[in-house]
Amino acid sequence: MRDVRRAVDQHVESNPGVHFNELARNLDIATGQAQYHLRNLRKAGSLDIEEVRGRTHYFPPGYEPWEQRTIALLRRETVRSIIVAALEESEPSAAGLAEDLDVARSTISWHVSTLLEADVAEKTYDQKGRSHITLTRPAETRRLLNEVTPSLPDRLVDRFTRLVDDTLVD
């Protein structure tokens, strides 16, 4: 019992922003067991929780709410790529993002509204009425980006799609 609790604590410590399903899956423990230990650890003050768009993320102590929301979003692939795009070019347009990331406009607007809600980005309009995205705290966002990385399978698939896009789709 103590071992499982320690394992849960260490997993959150080394994976800040891990969400519930991922934690239970990575540690291979039952849902009830994960809930029990997370609740106890939270009562003991060893972890923080932050809920972002219907998913509960767990953090070791020491992250402020804005950092917690940003990390949670950096763990989601599409929204992460929007953040990366906004770090690479200043004020990308929603239309440009949809084209660059090859996702539907509706997908972009869903993720952008998540970013606005979390205060990670702001929306501005140009003279032609097109919407653009600006990060609220770019330097800190970049620091957090390096702290949280997607898993190896995720990156493999990303690179495969880039390879096919570059050579075949264009």
Partner 1 sequence: MLQSVSDWLSGGEAAALLAVLGLATLGTATLFLTGLAGYRRRRSKVYLLVVSALGLLLARSIVGFGTVLGLVPMPVHHLVEHGSDFVVATLILYALYSSDSPSSVE
Closest distance to partner 1 from the beta carbon of 142 (Å) = 25
d(CA 155, CA 167): 18
d(CA 28, CA 44): 23
- Residues 6+ away with beta carbon under 8 Å from 15: 22, 23, 26
d(CA 59, CA 19): 9
Q: Among 4-12, 83-91, 130-138, 160-168, which window interacts with partner 1 (CB under 8 A)?
A: 160-168
**Site map 91..130 versus partner 1, x via CB under 8 A:** -----------x----------------------------
3-state secondary structure of 22: helix
Closest distance to partner 1 from the beta carbon of 107 (Å) = 11
Residue placing its CB nearer to partner 1 in the complex, 35 or 161: 161
| Contacts to partner 1 by CB under 8 A | 102, 153, 156-157, 160-161, 164, 168-170
